Structure 1
Amino acid sequence: MPSIEHTQHEYDLVVLGSGAGGLAAAATASCLGLNVLVVEKADRFGGTSAISGGAAWVYGTDQARAAGAQDSPQAMRTYLKTIIGAGYNAQLVDAFIARGHQALRWLEHNTELRYALRPHSPDYYPDEPGATQFGRALEMVEYDGRRLGARFKDLKMPPPGMLLFGGMMVNRVDIQHFLSLRRSPGSLWHCLKLMTRYGLDRLHHHRGTRLTTGNALIARLASSAFAKGTQLWLRSEAQELIVEHGVVTGVMVLREGRRERVVARGGVVCAMGGFAAGALAAAYRPAPAAPHLTMSPSGNDGAALRLGQAVDAANGEGLAANFFWAPVSERRHADGERERFPHLVTDRAKPGVIAIDPGGRRFVNESNSYHHFVQTMFANGLSTCWLLCDAEAMNRYGLGLARPKPVDNTALIQSGYLYRADSAQALANAIGVDPQALQQTLERFNTDARNGIDRQFDKGGNSYNRYMGDPQHTPNPCLAPLTKAPFYAIRLHTGDLGSARGLVTDANANVLNHAGTPIAGLYATGNDMNSLMNGTYPGPGITLGPALTFGWIAASHIAERLQAPTPHMETTACTTN
């Protein structure tokens, strides 16, 4: 049993959680001269952000302006009003539009955070009013993990299915090069350089030190925060808020078996990743929801909602969805370990790949967003479905955890994750669907695929669909008939990337009580903050963009309250050398 509180610690700011939103707040506050503590329940830092794609969706960035992107605040509002609908929160959206690019500029000037514009990245609903073809989606610039020093070993590592050769990270550009290495000398050279760097890394490190996507995002923010003195407590759990005269002034933390009293002069920021992995999650998912697979770490169990309850904090209500959906597959290893893979970008939209329901029939445009894909599963009463491809697609793109040629995927077949058969009828029998129904599905799809037009679900029918396909495949980058044996299948489950429902905040990220009044000293960002997207998914990076923005805003607001310097471009940078 833990003892009573052992020691009192004093900080200007305590951040609960070490994902992008939490570390954005910590890095900002530390650069502004505040004494900061980050409390992380897990034994590694980074949370869901560390295993994410790292993309940020932000209006009006310097990168977009430099590239000549055509956009406006009104276009952004129009698009978000269209997608979000009745749950549109003008106060939060306006703050995000006005301050998101300011936050990114300040963080890039004062920390090691670096983003690059995706040259072509349509919004997820590109034909809706206010949508753009590029300019809002940014992707993380790679980073050298060695700059974390001894803390590199404490950075959360992506699951094996997201790595190559047991520990090599790749980004969107790298993936395209690996898919093209047999067709392009330039791609072959790119891949050889990556593999050489990785081989040298493994002589001295437990994995590759070239970090990309969400791992690079977390490492960049953490390096900057650590350089300015931010403290990190791992394996430490926030148990209750300290409240004095209605003001949150600290938190009780269980650390190494002892209760530690941590005073926070400026306040506490909740950034613990939401509740997608906790017992609470099942109550907020539509039926059928089992077996439902989340990508959230086990520690994301709704701690912020529990802490907030004691101070009458308001929770979001009536969201379009309480989670950010994604189809997920799962491999069971011989030792009982379960490995999950989110089907975001690598397979569903590619030529020669289709999804079918348990009856053997297509039910969805496979190249639409992952959030939309699972919404369609729920609308059709599905908790599972099947993703199919033929040998040509497998050899070129892979399927889930299965890698393209020349990788041997026999182990995945033996584990029951990947199904392979010499004919469509044999595959149907293997996965338990009606062979005749699957045959009819393939005949209809293959006829359309040869003509480049999917008359049933319009796969490849808009610019986002085509962006997700194979740009070297014509006439439709998302369509090819499934004709070449053997045929393959994997089971997909409804899944999520995290929760959208959280603590209600104002435009300063200050948590509100049920009367709509700010709770002094309590802030929320990331998935602990009720999503300004209201459970919709307008584009890539719509969780990280707001997380970075409101993490920066929260720290700025706290610094102002403590009469610290306000964020501006002349503030001394805290990048490391």
Structure 2
Amino acid sequence: MFAIADGVVEDRSAPRTYLENRLGDNFDAAKVDALLDGAPEMVEFFERKTALKFVPGAKIADIHGDTPGAGTGHRSVGPKPVSLRKLGPDVAALLRRQLYETSFLGMGIMAGPDLQAFLHSTRSPKAFVHCGVRVTKHMFDLATKRRGQQLVNGTALVGMMLRSALDLGVEIRVKTSATSLQTDDDGRVVGVRLEGPDGAYSVTATRGVVLATGGFAQDIDRRRELFPRTPTGNEHWSLTPKTTTGDGITLGESVGGRLDRTLASPVAYCPVSIVRYRNGKEGVFPHILDRGKPGVIGVLANGKRFVNEALGYHDYTLAMVEQVPEGEEVCSWLIADQQYVRYLPLGMAKPLPIPIQPYLRSGYLTRGRTLRDLAEKIGVDPVQLEKTVAAFNIGAVAGEDPEFGRGTTPFNRGSGDASNPWPNPSLAPLQKGPYYAVKVVPGSFGTFAGLVTDSSSQVLDDNDRPIEGLLAVGVDQASVMGGHYPSGGINLGPAMTFGYLAGRELAGAKTVGAHA
């Protein structure tokens, strides 16, 4: 609907072609068609019927722009920013706070113009004023409400959905876990056993049960079994809540469902760094933005680049997992020079005027007077690092990356910096010391592997027969992307779409048993 409003009319065959080329053997025509048909319906439904409102992603390009069918925009939407004051105290009582590592002083920053203003706050008077107003309002909110009131991105999405659910009389039970599914003599799922603050009890499901518990990214045993290069299950740092331990998948398996083990990857990777705070706690920072900015490269312990850093976060981490030699710690280092850290973020370290010293003192960042000095401090081959940077610089000055083709696609260039003085917005030489490094390890935004379902989200048994009364959506459902990451939002978009389709399916389903 947003694309049409902007005068863009695209036949669904183009995104379908893109997905068919990217997913390869994991392309499931029925599920992809259900997604492409259902997503516009889902957006229109929520816009029309609920408090959830969207903004267009007109400039968000598909990640692999050299693939047939790739789009340069108008295929994505995001949640519209909203005030927590408007949503009400009942929503505030239920809503998690913004993940601190992805915020600025606990304040969420909206992808798009808001983010660009913060990245250019010291280089543009207009951006400086914008940031000053945002920070001042946030400080007032902290003083009066003890939390930020401007919700953006995923927090806004959940907040508006919560408001809608409460308005419709949906009962949300917190501190309550599902312990088992209940079936009738024919094997149909007819209820669920719950454990809450007041003890155990059962709820009858007259139409069906939908599993949507957030996947298993925090299940150490499943990580050890399914994630590559994770021998103990602890060599992975997920950004998901600690409660995402695969409860829904376990419930589905208990009545005959099965986990899809055929996907290209079981996990939606993201490169992360570990932040150590003065109180002894640790945080996990996702490297979404910095990798594609001009003046930063990623290297392995051998001192060599290993991937186009401006690709998606899944691609970067997957390459790291695959290319670090067996027996070595799976990690890489993002390297930048003094010019870069003055103007752009390197992990948690923000550009001027935010001081960088706390990150140096904690060991989060490492600084070296020269590339050789830096390499010796972080355990990277110093001779090779010097060669790598020298070769990269020659190409960057010319706006080219002969080794990996960085900066050749709309997604690469969009991940860069339009104000970059060098020819390519994604490339700049590393020339001026001192030099800085941050260590990056494998993390994730969630899991791809989930319960096998049909295109209606009904869970299937070992014989590919639907288990009556049981559906799975979100990341409890095996990813329609087949373990690939072709575009932004490929977990949330399908979760919203198949959740909508499952709800529509159940609304028309025949009721079974007494009303709960």
Q: What range is the shorter-chain TM-score in?
A: over 0.9
What is the CA-CA distance between 1:385 and the residue it aligns to? 0.6
The aligned residue for residue 40 of structure 1 is none
Of residues 172, 184, 193, the one that matches 1:252 is: 193
The aligned residue for residue 258 of structure 2 is 314
1:451 aligned onto 2:398: yes
What is the CA-CA distance between 1:98 and the residue it aligns to? 1.3
What is the CA-CA distance between 1:541 and the residue it aligns to? 0.8
Of residues 438, 443, 447, the one that matches 1:499 is: 447
After TM superposition, the structure 1 stretch with the greater mean CA deviation from structure 2, 540-549 or 142-151, is: 142-151
1:282-309 deviations in Å (ceiling 9; x for gaps)? 2111126662211121111111221112
RMSD: 1.7
Of residues 383, 388, 411, the one that matches 1:464 is: 411
After TM superposition, the structure 1 stretch with the greater mean CA deviation from structure 2, 287-296 or 298-307, is: 287-296
State how far apart, in whole Å, the 2-side matches of 1:140 and 1:319 are: 29
After TM superposition, the structure 1 stretch with the greater mean CA deviation from structure 2, 62-71 or 212-221, is: 62-71
State how far apart, in whole Å, the 1-side matches of 2:88 and 2:502 are: 25
Of residues 276, 284, 303, the one that matches 1:340 is: 284
The aligned residue for residue 400 of structure 1 is 347
What is the CA-CA distance between 1:259 and the residue it aligns to? 1.0
State the secondary structure of the residue aligned to 1:259.
strand
Normalised TM-score (structure 1): 0.84
The aligned residue for residue 378 of structure 2 is 431
1:148 aligned onto 2:96: no
1:131 aligned onto 2:70: yes
State how far apart, in whole Å, the 2-side matches of 1:185 and 1:207 are: 28
What percent of counterpart residues are identical?
A: 34
Residue type at the aligned position of 1:355: G
State the secondary structure of the residue aligned to 1:326.
strand
The aligned residue for residue 387 of structure 2 is 440
State how far apart, in whole Å, the 2-side matches of 1:507 and 1:354 are: 41
Contact 1:287 1:381 in 2 (8 A): no
1:6-47 deviations in Å (ceiling 9; x for gaps)? xxxxxxxxxxxxxxxxxxxxxxxxxxxxxxxxxxxxxxxxxx
State the secondary structure of the residue aligned to 1:203.
helix
After TM superposition, the structure 1 stretch with the greater mean CA deviation from structure 2, 350-359 or 243-252, is: 243-252
Matches within 5 A, 1:170-185: 170-185=110-125
Residue type at the aligned position of 1:519: I
What is the CA-CA distance between 1:172 and the residue it aligns to? 3.3
State how far apart, in whole Å, the 1-side matches of 2:398 and 2:360 are: 33
State how far apart, in whole Å, the 1-side matches of 2:209 and 2:58 are: 38
What is the CA-CA distance between 1:463 and the residue it aligns to? 1.4
The aligned residue for residue 105 of structure 2 is 165
The aligned residue for residue 283 of structure 1 is 225
Structure 2 CA distance for partners of 1:497 and 1:115, relative to 1, 3 Å: same
The aligned residue for residue 377 of structure 1 is 320
Contact 1:388 1:490 in 2 (8 A): yes
What is the CA-CA distance between 1:519 and the residue it aligns to? 1.4
Of residues 48, 59, 65, the one that matches 1:109 is: 48
State the secondary structure of the residue aligned to 2:144.
coil
1:234 aligned onto 2:174: yes
1:202-224 deviations in Å (ceiling 9; x for gaps)? 23212111000000000011100
The aligned residue for residue 530 of structure 1 is 478
What is the CA-CA distance between 1:562 and the residue it aligns to? 4.7
Residue type at the aligned position of 1:371: H
What is the CA-CA distance between 1:502 and the residue it aligns to? 0.6
Unaligned runs of 5+ in 1: 1-61, 564-577
Unaligned runs of 5+ in 2: 512-516
State the secondary structure of the residue aligned to 2:417.
coil
State how far apart, in whole Å, the 2-side matches of 1:391 and 1:242 are: 61
What is the CA-CA distance between 1:257 and the residue it aligns to? 6.0
State how far apart, in whole Å, the 2-side matches of 1:69 and 1:135 are: 8
1:227-260 deviations in Å (ceiling 9; x for gaps)? 1111111111111001123221111111126112
Contact 2:122 2:352 in 1 (8 A): no
State the secondary structure of the residue aligned to 1:204.
helix
State the secondary structure of the residue aligned to 1:202.
helix
State the secondary structure of the residue aligned to 2:406.
coil
State the secondary structure of the residue aligned to 1:98.
helix
State how far apart, in whole Å, the 1-side matches of 2:214 and 2:90 are: 25
State the secondary structure of the residue aligned to 2:290.
coil
What is the CA-CA distance between 1:198 and the residue it aligns to? 1.2
Contact 1:266 1:558 in 2 (8 A): yes
Normalised TM-score (structure 2): 0.94
Contact 2:98 2:108 in 1 (8 A): no
